[in-house]
Protein backbone atom coordinates (compact mmCIF):
# COMPACT_ATOMS: atom_id res chain seq x y z
CA UNK A 1 0.00 0.00 0.00
CA UNK A 2 1.27 3.44 -0.91
CA UNK A 3 0.14 6.17 1.45
CA UNK A 4 0.39 9.87 2.16
CA UNK A 5 2.70 9.21 5.13
CA UNK A 6 -0.28 8.39 7.34
CA UNK A 7 0.42 6.79 10.72
CA UNK A 8 0.55 2.98 10.73
CA UNK A 9 -2.42 3.02 13.10
CA UNK A 10 -4.55 5.06 10.67
CA UNK A 11 -8.13 3.83 10.64
CA UNK A 12 -10.22 5.27 7.81
CA UNK A 13 -13.75 6.45 8.33
CA UNK A 14 -14.64 6.01 4.65
CA UNK A 15 -13.36 4.19 1.58
CA UNK A 16 -13.40 5.74 -1.89
CA UNK A 17 -12.72 3.66 -5.00
CA UNK A 18 -11.91 4.44 -8.58
CA UNK A 19 -14.06 2.29 -10.87
CA UNK A 20 -12.34 1.36 -14.15
CA UNK A 21 -9.46 -0.99 -13.46
CA UNK A 22 -10.01 -0.80 -9.71
CA UNK A 23 -13.46 -2.19 -8.91
CA UNK A 24 -14.40 -3.28 -12.43
CA UNK A 25 -12.17 -4.96 -15.00
CA UNK A 26 -13.26 -2.51 -17.67
CA UNK A 27 -9.74 -1.69 -18.80
CA UNK A 28 -9.26 -5.12 -20.31
CA UNK A 29 -12.79 -5.07 -21.69
CA UNK A 30 -12.25 -1.71 -23.42
CA UNK A 31 -8.79 -2.44 -24.80
CA UNK A 32 -9.96 -4.36 -27.93
CA UNK A 33 -11.83 -1.26 -29.14
CA UNK A 34 -8.64 0.80 -28.78
CA UNK A 35 -6.58 -1.89 -30.47
CA UNK A 36 -8.97 -2.19 -33.42
CA UNK A 37 -9.17 1.54 -34.11
CA UNK A 38 -5.46 2.17 -33.62
CA UNK A 39 -4.47 -0.74 -35.87
CA UNK A 40 -6.78 0.58 -38.59
CA UNK A 41 -4.88 3.89 -38.67
CA UNK A 42 -1.41 2.44 -38.02
CA UNK A 43 -1.19 3.93 -34.54
CA UNK A 44 1.09 2.14 -32.10
CA UNK A 45 -0.86 1.60 -28.86
CA UNK A 46 0.22 -1.35 -26.74
CA UNK A 47 -1.69 -2.77 -23.80
CA UNK A 48 1.09 -1.52 -21.50
CA UNK A 49 0.73 2.01 -22.88
CA UNK A 50 -3.04 1.81 -22.46
CA UNK A 51 -2.73 0.90 -18.79
CA UNK A 52 -0.14 3.63 -18.22
CA UNK A 53 -2.76 6.18 -19.31
CA UNK A 54 -5.51 4.80 -17.08
CA UNK A 55 -7.66 7.55 -15.63
CA UNK A 56 -7.01 9.96 -18.51
CA UNK A 57 -10.12 10.97 -20.54
CA UNK A 58 -10.46 9.24 -23.92
CA UNK A 59 -10.01 12.41 -26.00
CA UNK A 60 -6.83 13.24 -24.09
CA UNK A 61 -5.42 9.77 -24.63
CA UNK A 62 -5.95 10.03 -28.38
CA UNK A 63 -4.43 13.51 -28.37
CA UNK A 64 -1.37 12.23 -26.50
CA UNK A 65 -0.64 9.28 -28.76
CA UNK A 66 -1.25 11.25 -31.96
CA UNK A 67 1.15 13.95 -30.80
CA UNK A 68 3.79 11.46 -29.64
CA UNK A 69 3.73 9.67 -33.00
CA UNK A 70 3.29 12.81 -35.11
CA UNK A 71 0.13 11.43 -36.70
CA UNK A 72 -2.02 13.89 -38.65
CA UNK A 73 -3.92 11.69 -41.12
CA UNK A 74 -6.86 11.06 -38.77
CA UNK A 75 -8.74 13.30 -36.33
CA UNK A 76 -9.47 12.70 -32.67
CA UNK A 77 -13.19 13.03 -33.46
CA UNK A 78 -13.03 10.21 -36.02
CA UNK A 79 -11.11 7.96 -33.66
CA UNK A 80 -13.56 8.57 -30.82
CA UNK A 81 -16.60 7.96 -33.01
CA UNK A 82 -15.24 4.70 -34.38
CA UNK A 83 -14.14 3.50 -30.95
CA UNK A 84 -17.58 4.31 -29.49
CA UNK A 85 -19.30 2.33 -32.24
CA UNK A 86 -17.14 -0.73 -31.50
CA UNK A 87 -17.87 -0.52 -27.79
CA UNK A 88 -21.62 -0.24 -28.36
CA UNK A 89 -21.53 -3.31 -30.60
CA UNK A 90 -19.46 -5.17 -28.02
CA UNK A 91 -22.12 -4.52 -25.35
CA UNK A 92 -24.49 -6.83 -27.23
CA UNK A 93 -22.32 -9.84 -26.44
CA UNK A 94 -20.36 -9.14 -23.24
CA UNK A 95 -20.02 -6.95 -20.16
CA UNK A 96 -16.96 -6.05 -18.05
CA UNK A 97 -16.14 -8.22 -15.06
CA UNK A 98 -14.86 -7.42 -11.57
CA UNK A 99 -11.44 -6.98 -9.99
CA UNK A 100 -12.17 -9.54 -7.28
CA UNK A 101 -9.35 -8.66 -4.87
CA UNK A 102 -10.73 -5.11 -4.66
CA UNK A 103 -14.37 -6.17 -4.61
CA UNK A 104 -13.52 -8.38 -1.63
CA UNK A 105 -12.52 -5.20 0.25
CA UNK A 106 -15.78 -3.53 -0.75
CA UNK A 107 -17.90 -6.47 0.38
CA UNK A 108 -15.97 -6.89 3.65
CA UNK A 109 -16.57 -3.25 4.62
CA UNK A 110 -20.21 -3.00 3.61
CA UNK A 111 -22.20 -1.79 6.60
CA UNK A 112 -18.99 -0.93 8.50
CA UNK A 113 -17.73 2.10 6.59
CA UNK A 114 -19.22 4.62 4.18
CA UNK A 115 -18.04 3.94 0.63
CA UNK A 116 -18.10 5.81 -2.68
CA UNK A 117 -16.99 5.55 -6.28
CA UNK A 118 -14.88 8.40 -7.73
CA UNK A 119 -14.36 7.77 -11.44
CA UNK A 120 -13.09 9.64 -14.50
CA UNK A 121 -15.49 7.56 -16.59
CA UNK A 122 -18.91 8.50 -17.95
CA UNK A 123 -21.59 8.20 -15.27
CA UNK A 124 -23.92 6.06 -17.40
CA UNK A 125 -21.14 3.55 -18.13
CA UNK A 126 -20.02 3.49 -14.49
CA UNK A 127 -23.54 2.95 -13.16
CA UNK A 128 -24.31 0.26 -15.74
CA UNK A 129 -21.07 -1.58 -15.02
CA UNK A 130 -21.62 -1.54 -11.26
CA UNK A 131 -25.19 -2.78 -11.63
CA UNK A 132 -24.25 -5.49 -14.13
CA UNK A 133 -21.72 -6.82 -11.62
CA UNK A 134 -24.01 -6.51 -8.58
CA UNK A 135 -21.68 -3.93 -6.98
CA UNK A 136 -23.80 -0.77 -7.11
CA UNK A 137 -25.63 -1.66 -3.87
CA UNK A 138 -22.44 -1.34 -1.81
CA UNK A 139 -21.80 2.36 -2.47
CA UNK A 140 -23.33 5.38 -0.77
CA UNK A 141 -22.27 7.79 -3.54
CA UNK A 142 -21.06 7.64 -7.15
CA UNK A 143 -19.11 10.63 -8.47
CA UNK A 144 -17.82 10.88 -12.05
CA UNK A 145 -16.15 13.51 -14.22
CA UNK A 146 -19.53 15.00 -15.15
CA UNK A 147 -19.95 16.10 -11.52
CA UNK A 148 -16.88 18.36 -11.41
CA UNK A 149 -15.99 21.45 -13.46
CA UNK A 150 -14.31 20.99 -16.83
CA UNK A 151 -10.57 20.70 -16.44
CA UNK A 152 -10.89 19.41 -12.86
CA UNK A 153 -10.63 15.73 -13.69
CA UNK A 154 -7.84 13.58 -12.23
CA UNK A 155 -5.00 14.28 -11.39
CA UNK A 156 -6.83 17.24 -9.81
CA UNK A 157 -8.34 16.21 -6.45
CA UNK A 158 -11.88 17.41 -7.17
CA UNK A 159 -13.54 14.05 -7.89
CA UNK A 160 -12.24 12.51 -4.68
CA UNK A 161 -12.98 15.63 -2.65
CA UNK A 162 -16.57 15.67 -3.91
CA UNK A 163 -16.98 11.98 -3.08
CA UNK A 164 -15.77 12.63 0.48
CA UNK A 165 -18.16 15.59 0.75
CA UNK A 166 -21.09 13.47 -0.37
CA UNK A 167 -20.17 10.87 2.25
CA UNK A 168 -19.89 13.58 4.90
CA UNK A 169 -16.34 12.55 5.84
CA UNK A 170 -13.22 14.72 6.01
CA UNK A 171 -10.90 13.80 3.10
CA UNK A 172 -7.98 13.19 5.46
CA UNK A 173 -10.03 10.45 7.12
CA UNK A 174 -10.65 8.63 3.84
CA UNK A 175 -8.69 5.84 2.19
CA UNK A 176 -8.75 5.83 -1.59
CA UNK A 177 -8.08 2.98 -3.99
CA UNK A 178 -6.63 3.52 -7.47
CA UNK A 179 -5.02 1.61 -10.33
CA UNK A 180 -3.52 4.56 -12.21
CA UNK A 181 -0.69 7.04 -11.71
CA UNK A 182 -2.96 10.01 -12.36
CA UNK A 183 -5.43 8.63 -9.85
CA UNK A 184 -2.74 8.20 -7.21
CA UNK A 185 -1.71 11.82 -7.79
CA UNK A 186 -5.35 12.84 -7.38
CA UNK A 187 -5.62 11.00 -4.06
CA UNK A 188 -2.45 12.60 -2.75
CA UNK A 189 -3.68 16.04 -3.78
CA UNK A 190 -6.93 15.35 -1.91
CA UNK A 191 -4.96 14.51 1.23
CA UNK A 192 -6.28 10.95 1.40
CA UNK A 193 -4.56 7.74 2.37
CA UNK A 194 -3.75 6.27 -1.05
CA UNK A 195 -3.75 2.58 -1.91
CA UNK A 196 -2.31 1.44 -5.25
CA UNK A 197 -4.29 -1.70 -6.09
CA UNK A 198 -1.71 -2.66 -8.73
CA UNK A 199 0.52 -3.68 -5.83
CA UNK A 200 -2.02 -6.12 -4.43
CA UNK A 201 -0.95 -9.74 -4.70
CA UNK A 202 -4.00 -10.87 -6.64
CA UNK A 203 -4.38 -7.85 -8.92
CA UNK A 204 -4.79 -9.43 -12.38
CA UNK A 205 -2.92 -6.95 -14.62
CA UNK A 206 0.75 -6.34 -13.92
CA UNK A 207 3.41 -4.90 -16.20
CA UNK A 208 7.16 -4.89 -15.72
15 and 162 Cβ atoms separated by less than 8 Å: no
Buried b / exposed e across 120-145, counting CB within 10 Å, b at 16+? bbeeebbbebbeebebeebbebbbbb
Active-site annotation holds for 170: no
Torsion of Cα atoms, 38 then 124 then 127 then 122, to 10°:
50
Strands (E), the chain: 14-17, 114-118, 141-143, 174-178, 193-196
Give me the sheet containing 174-178, strands edge to edge: 141-143, 114-118, 14-17, 174-178, 193-196
Number of H helices, E strands in the chain: 8, 5
Options 18, 20, 179, 193, the catalytic residue: 18
d(CA 14, CA 123) in angstroms, rounded, equals 21
Catalytic residues: 18
Amino acid sequence: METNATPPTFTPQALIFDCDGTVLDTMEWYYPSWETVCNKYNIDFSRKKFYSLAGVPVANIFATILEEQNITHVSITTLMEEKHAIVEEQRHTSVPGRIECVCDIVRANHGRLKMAIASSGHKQNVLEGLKENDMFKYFDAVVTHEDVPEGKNKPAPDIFLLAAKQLGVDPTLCRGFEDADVGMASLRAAGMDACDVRKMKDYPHKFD
